[in-house]
Amino acid sequence: MTARSEGRDYGMTVSAFSSVSLAPPLVLICIEKSASAHAALTTTHEFIVNILSSEQEQLARRFSIEEIDRFEGVGYSRAQSGIPVLDDVVGAIECRRTRVYEGGDHTIILGEVESGQAKNRRPLLYYRGGYAQLER
């Protein structure tokens, strides 16, 4: 998950991501209220969901660490909005924030999909407290 707020790039791991609707295309993300990027993510108007590949577990771990420059040494390009799109991801979904909801110790953010890109790679999954891969 990447966002840009007040000229600063934010990268973070969200607790949940899900599709919501096809018409209009909507997704939701959930972020813990105590996360360092919570304020930026709940106030920015645009964000990108980067779907990591099965080879990017270390990158997922890096983006879950608080209080570091998560982008240092990490390859990325910028979307038209200026938000970072990480290199070698399975996909990137560019969204416009439409609603923010309370969700206990998390905040639920609804975004309308504005564009997306996908590559033929296996996604990295997080399941039951650990990383996993899809089997074919």
Q: What is the CATH number of domain 2-125?
A: 2.30.110.10
pLDDT at 65: 77
Average pLDDT of span 9-37: 86
Listed by start position, the domains of the chain span 2-125
pLDDT at 81: 85
DSSP assignments along 68-108, one per residue: S-TTTT--EEE-TTS-EEETT-SEEEEEEEEEEEEETTEEE
Alpha carbons 49 and 84: distance in angstroms, whole number: 10
pLDDT at 47: 92
pTM of the entire structure? 0.86
Q: Which range among 63-77, 87-101, 118-132 has the greatest average pLDDT?
A: 87-101
Q: How confident is the model at residue 16 (pLDDT cuts 50, 70, 90)?
A: confident
Q: What is the largest CA-CA distance in the chain?
A: 43
Tally: H helices and E strands in the chain: 2, 11
pLDDT at 63: 81
Alpha carbons 23 and 91: distance in angstroms, whole number: 20
pLDDT digits (tens, 9 = 90+) for 33-86: 988 788 888 888 999 999 999 999 998 888 877 777 778 888 999 988 888 999
Question: Which is more confidently placed, 58 or 4?
Answer: 58
